[in-house]
Structures are given as structure tokens and as C-alpha cells.
Amino acid sequence: MTECIIVGMGGFIGAVCRYLVGLLPVKESFVFPIKTFGINIIGCFLIGIIAALALKNSALDPRWILFLKIGICGGFTTFSSFALESCDLLGKGNVWIAFLYLVLSVALGVAAVFAGQWIVS
């Protein structure tokens, strides 16, 4: 149960940070969603650092890793987890599974959004 509270606290911080970035007065004069794109790239960069530090230093408390990786990064963007899992698959030589995961996640994710919107409308 302690781990759930730790993840929840990190998730709170990550979600609030995502919200605050969304409030930044960035003029989006074109269709490309630059703030969400930036959030996703920053989240991927951070989760990469955290995962590498966790692998490099076994003395790190696993609860801190949960707080940072699952909590903060997960609350900031779930895209970072998706990217980390894709890199892990590629790093383990599972190229075709990684490719399938990437393509299906993006295609079915977008299709699911359309389906959800269609059901409501």
C-alpha cells in the first residue's frame, strides 16, 4: 500500500506539472500541438535518465524510482512509459515486437479516440 501512495504522490506532481505547462502562453499559430509534443519529449528524456540511473545504481531506493518513473513521469505523460517500453523491446533484440507495439499503439490509440468520440456523438 505504501508503494501506491508513493506513486500517487508522484502522479499528483506530474499531473500538476503537465497542467502548468499547458498554461504557458505559447502562441500555437499552426496546427501542430507543440505543448503536448514538448511534454511528451521532456517526459521521455526524464524517464530515460531515471531508468538509466536505476540500472546503474542498485543502491537507489526502489520507492524513489517508483515515485519518479511511474509517479512523476507517468502523471506528466504516459507517452514516456510507452517510449521506454519500446526502447526496452528494441534493446533486447525484439525488433518486430517493438515495431508491432509502436504501430498498433499509435494506430489503435487514434482509432480508439475516434471510436469513443463517435459513440458519444
The pTM of this model reads 0.74
Please give the span between the terminal C-alpha atoms of the chain, in angstroms, as a whole number.
Answer: 40
| CA distances from residue 93 to 10, 33, 79, 89 in whole angstroms, order as listed | 31, 33, 21, 6
Question: Rounded to an integer, what distance in angstroms lies between the CA atom of residue 121 and that of residue 119?
Answer: 6
**Model pLDDT, residue 26:** 77
Average pLDDT over residues 15-36: 81
Compare 107 and 120 and report the one with higher pLDDT.
107
Question: Rounded to an integer, what distance in angstroms lies between the CA atom of residue 37 and that of residue 43?
Answer: 10
Q: What is the pLDDT of residues 40-74, one digit of tens each?
A: 888 889 888 988 888 888 888 999 999 999 999 98
Question: Rounded to an integer, what distance in angstroms lies between the CA atom of residue 11 and that of residue 72?
Answer: 5
